[in-house]
Structure 1
Amino acid sequence: MLIIRPDHLGDLLFLGPALRWLRASLPHAHLTLAIGPWGRPALPGLAGGYDQVLELPFPAFERGEHAGMVERWRLLPRMASRLRSMRFDVALVCRPDHWWGAILAHLAGIPFRLGFDTPETRPWLSQTLPLREEHAAAANLRLMAALLNTSIQPDPITHPLHFPIPTEDRAAAEAMIQPLNDRGHGPLVVVHPGSGAAVKRWDQAKWQALARRLVARGARVVVTGGPGEEPLTRAVAEADARILDLGGRTSFSLLAALLARADLVLGPDSGPLHLAVAVGTPTVHLFGPADPVRFGPWGDPQRHIVIPSPWDCAPCGRFDWPDLPAHGCVRDIPLASVWAATTRLLGWHD
């Protein structure tokens, strides 16, 4: 069986509950997971739900310059020939609009091809599942249940995210925050200000103001970020000399250990925020163009708070706005709203 999911880290973490449910339901099936090379850091969150990983260069999902339409069509026959030789009998296309993956499964001659009923994928699938307004993790679970001709009631408590953390990463995370431990024992708060799409980011000055408030209340504050986000994390950390800047210094697994150690994680919609949910840490998620119904935290709503944009047009689903200064749907989220959610989850009373 081939399971196709071309997306990035957060969306792959949403696949974990469905893969583990499918593995428990079909313990003897051979499950091959097709992902982009950018998705490999999320694989621990899918542990126990697949037998083999197949990396494919899914066009339009690479960060930065995307392959043009001509190159996308050129890739199809080459990748289809590769899959045909593997003799899959079932393909699951888990992203609802992934027409390229649906065509790929069709050209590879996979006889049973199941995905969601969308105009982009419908012509290339042998069976479709009606698309609902629901969380992506719930949709993944429904798709797996449809394969077995059964029903399921997706629930984040029954079907949670999960990300195992190696002992050595826990020890490394503890060593990284030791300078903060020497300064006090207030709650450990991680601020992750970056996101894969710049339009999802909050105002830098508001992050600085929030960080200063946290430090003033005795919190130990860490700022994290991936490669290339060091200027952003450095700018936020400059709000107060007592803030620890770890931008660009953690692998995904080490970041998981750091987030698991925290009392609260704050940031815009991003893979690391969903990673925090997966390791059991309370979170505050800032949302703008992305739909929190589909992509919000898959966890207990008492522990994970979504703050939506005040703009009437949000969520629009568009992440490629060319004029970022003119697009402030996340930037305009009030500092007061984020502070209120922060104090609530930390149990502080103003």
Structure 2
Amino acid sequence: MFCISSCDKNRQRERDAFFVKGNLKLNEGEHSEAIRYYSEALKIDSNFADVYNNRGIAFYEERMYGQAVLDYTQAIQLKEQFTDAYYNRANAYYQLGQLEKSLQDLDSVKKYYPDSAYVFFTEGLTLTEVGEYDRAIQSMNQSVALDSTNAEAYVNRGTLYYYQQNFVKAKNDVHKALIFDPKEANAFNLSGLLHTEEKNYEQALSAFNQALELTPYQPFFLNNRGYLYLQTDSLEQAKQDINQSIRLDARNAYAYRNKGIYYLKNGQPQEAVRSLEQALSISERTDKTHYYLGMAYIDLGKKEEACIALSKAKLTKQTEAVRIYQQHCL
């Protein structure tokens, strides 16, 4: 009896030692080492929910999102009300593009933490990805109500207002974000987008440059500055920023849309079609892409294809798309 009890205690101490070492490596950002220590702990005790959750975090940080989901799921099976694991799995599902599953996990977390500002913030991000902007704004409103100092929440709500072309509210949120965090790069990026819409190109360039000073080589900021350069016909500068953006993130639909605009302005409609179709293959909701695709087909003399694209563009109530459609397709 004494031997069995003593051996069990020794194995538990060994398991806990690996767990602690894994936590230290996780905190130090040495994720591969953390995974190794957590795996050793699980060899000793395969029913340790906290180890699965923490190893899932390490996998997540290594962008191994599928492995992270497996570990979070195992943690939840071992500890039914493991809200941290539900929240972590929601983030992993988000990265995998499994957005409905992400929202389901966030609902599970809200049952236990109905006053968590960050849960509503994450829900708002996920709803944005599925295109439910009104619901996303409601979630961001709830997040702001629970934590009125979170600059990120203001920026993301402002971005939603920008998508809805409610530029006054978007500007107000940029202002609030910069009050709480004067170095919030995303706020400067959104400010640049708003100035671009209003054709205040000098202010837009200044804002994008400030964003890039705070976060150099951020692909979305580079792409947005590239779009600004397109508006001022600074085509070589636009090309440089857009190509750099694609090299850094090949899944940004707006970068391919902007590359399509570049080819249109450069008199290369066939290349424009390829880039614009690439944008739509990533996301059908990429703003103004159908309009530019219609314009490219017009330049190629392909009326039927142009009218199909423009008919989709005018559904978004773009004034110019409606005008071009009426001019060429009626």
Q: Structure 1 length normalisation: TM-score?
A: 0.25
Q: Which has the higher helix share?
A: 2
Specify which structure has the bigger relative contact order, considering alpha-carbon pairs within 8 angstroms and separated by 6 or more residues.
Answer: 1
* TM-score computed with the length of structure 2 as normaliser: 0.26
Kindly indicate which of the two structures has a greater share of residues assigned to strand: 1
Larger radius of gyration: 2
